[in-house]
């Protein structure tokens, strides 16, 4: 998004850990020093919010496999759907 003028509207963290609680550590953002490791589950949920227009957030849930590969658990399409 660099250079598009929209960066200011991405005012939400990138994601967070998943567990028994809705939002768990780590809080995933530019200042987070926590590394994800095998066995961790977390979200990646970028959101853009433009005052007077609206916003959208697309969330994926991920899991770090024992071998370090990341598996995307979310299966829904990200295609725009008009109702």
DSSP code for 79:
S
- Phi/psi for 34 (5° steps) reads -75, 130
Q: What is the pLDDT of residue 48?
A: 87
Give pLDDT tens digits along the chain (83 positions). 455 677 787 777 889 899 887 778 888 888 888 888 999 999 998 888 889 988 888 899 999 999 999 999 999 888 888 87
pTM: 0.74
Q: Are strands 60-64 and 54-57 parallel, antiparallel or unpaired?
A: unpaired
pLDDT number for residue 3: 52
Q: Is the dihedral of CA 45, 58, 46, 73 positive or negative?
A: positive
- State the pLDDT at residue 2: 52
């Amino acid at each position: 998004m660099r250079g598009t003028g929209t960066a200011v509207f991405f005012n939400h963290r990138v994601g967070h850990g998943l567990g028994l609680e809705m939002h768990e550590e780590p809080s995933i953002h530019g200042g987070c020093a926590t590394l994800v490791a095998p066995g961790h589950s977390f979200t990646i949920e970028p959101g853009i919010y433009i005052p007077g227009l609206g916003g959208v957030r697309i969330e994926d849930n991920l899991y770090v496999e024992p071998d370090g590969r990341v598996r995307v658990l979310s299966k829904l399409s990200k295609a725009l759907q008009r109702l």
